[in-house]
Chain A
């Protein structure tokens, strides 16, 4: 086989295997340990009521498939590990909320074939300090990334969802 064709074949095979694999940037458990200084508090459960489901519909644009969500809280800090589909695959994201504001967002597992730039701090740092306004939108604009529109949209939805969930856990006794 000619050298050029062989190179193209190998490059194609590499690209296929790369695009199919999930990139784990940080194990969710490690994210929790890092967030809470080495000891993760016990998980708590937030049961989703039908009223909350209606709000989640507005935030995500679709129904949340689960009836309850797990979270971790220590004092005024809560941590959420949430997933939303970018284009075809779920993006697993860790979100830390403190006093109703986002303290940190980290993309933990990225499975899409493109748009992975959302994991970089130049994008995720924009969320630091963001909170929900009365219309359940973020109180600041987040700059997008060309070529990663759907992933950006998914992360913004998850940020709003985590802030909303945090509000609900504080509102419930």
Chain B
């Protein structure tokens, strides 16, 4: 077998150069794909879906903005707040139903938080005792909630004022009763910023970000093409690596054959 021609050597040399250059370019993508891939494979163990991103820059990048709607009512040193579509008792999240918050009142066993759709009874530390809705005789369209002079809970609906009994199992219309209605109240600045952090922070699970980095979607639809390009680079590396190895092996064999004494 004859030695490769100069033209062939130049071609081979250029393939080495390209393999090296593309290898360096692909290295960054390989690291990103490998690290995010390993993390996603063990997503359950790492609790990626339960962990949330707190970085303002990243939240801004995803368009998760602080909500415009921020309604708060105070009672006995506690605040109930609607931030966007979520409800909070102080800084603890309550089950929300998307309805507007209308107030909070003190009860012997805790608090009653009213939205237009119903009432949530809470313990002193904010644990949910019960949700009261249409089945329990609490009509939809509550406009205000308050207490009477003797401490009974009262709510104003579109047509009447209803007063609840002690166990809140029945509601009676009692016109003309004097009621102290719950009034909106601005929460302290520290609580407000904590709620905003919580609202924004709960919106972006770490798993979502890792998936987007892995697929390139974190850079928008162009990012997907970038990762497609990276995949093509890796395919090129695999092909060129195999080709170079095969050429070297063939070259070594032909050298050995030439040196072997006849």
Q: Interface of A with B (CB < 8 Å)?
A: 27-29, 32, 42-45, 65-70, 81
Q: A70 with B136: in contact, given A42-B169, A45-B167, A65-B95 (CB under 8 Å)?
A: yes
Q: Which of B125-133, B199-207, B225-233 forms part of the interface with chain A?
A: B125-133
0 or 1 for each of B199-222: is its CB under 8 Å from A? (1 = yes): 000000000000000000000000
Q: Are A67 and B136 in contact (CB under 8 A)?
A: no
Contacts of B131 in A (CB 8 A): 66
Contacts of A65 in B (CB 8 A): 95, 128
A81 to B123, CA, bound (A): 22
Leading 3 A-B pairs by shortest Cβ distance: A28-B135, A43-B169, A67-B129
Most buried by A among B123, B135, B170: B135
Q: How large is the interface on B (under 10, 10 to 19, 20 to 34, 35 or more residues)?
A: 10 to 19
A65 to B127, CA, bound (A): 9
- B159 shortest CB reach to chain A, Å: 17
Within 8 A of A (CB), among B109-167: 123, 127-131, 134-136, 167
A-B contact count (CB 8 A): 33
A145 to B130, CA, bound (A): 32
Q: Are A28 and B169 in contact (CB under 8 A)?
A: no
Q: Are B134 and A67 in contact (CB under 8 A)?
A: no
A45 to B167, CA, bound (A): 9
Q: Are A42 and B170 in contact (CB under 8 A)?
A: yes
A60 to B127, CA, bound (A): 19
A68 to B136, CA, bound (A): 13
Q: Are B128 and A28 in contact (CB under 8 A)?
A: no
> Can you sample 9 A-B contacts with CB below 8 Å?
A28-B135, A43-B169, A44-B169, A45-B169, A66-B130, A68-B129, A69-B130, A70-B135, A70-B169
Most buried by B among A44, A45, A69, A70: A70
Contacts of B95 in A (CB 8 A): 65
Q: A68 with B130: in contact, given A42-B169, A42-B170, A45-B167 (CB under 8 Å)?
A: yes
Q: Which of B130, B135, B169, B170 meets A67, CB within 8 Å? A: B130
A73 to B123, CA, bound (A): 26
A70 to B131, CA, bound (A): 10
Q: Which of B123, B129, B134, B170 meets A29, CB within 8 Å? A: B134
Q: A67 with B167: in contact, given A28-B134, A28-B135 (CB under 8 Å)?
A: no
- A105 shortest CB reach to chain B, Å: 16
A50 to B112, CA, bound (A): 23
- A53 shortest CB reach to chain B, Å: 12
Q: Which of A28, A32, A43, A67 meets B127, CB within 8 Å? A: A67
Q: Are A66 and B128 in contact (CB under 8 A)?
A: yes
0 or 1 for each of B161-184: is its CB under 8 Å from A? (1 = yes): 000000101100000000000000
Contacts of A32 in B (CB 8 A): 135
A68 to B120, CA, bound (A): 12
Q: Which of B123, B134, B170 meets A27, CB within 8 Å? A: B134
Q: A43 with B136: in contact, given A66-B129, A68-B130 (CB under 8 Å)?
A: yes
A29 to B134, CA, bound (A): 8
Task: Write the chain B residue with the least CB distance to A28.
Answer: B135
Contacts of B123 in A (CB 8 A): 67
A32 to B134, CA, bound (A): 12
Contacts of B167 in A (CB 8 A): 45
A43 to B123, CA, bound (A): 20
- A27 shortest CB reach to chain B, Å: 7
Contacts of B129 in A (CB 8 A): 66-68
A66 to B122, CA, bound (A): 9
Besides A43-B136, A70-B130, 10 other A-B contacts (C-beta < 8 A) = A28-B134, A29-B135, A32-B135, A42-B170, A45-B169, A65-B128, A66-B129, A66-B130, A67-B127, A70-B135
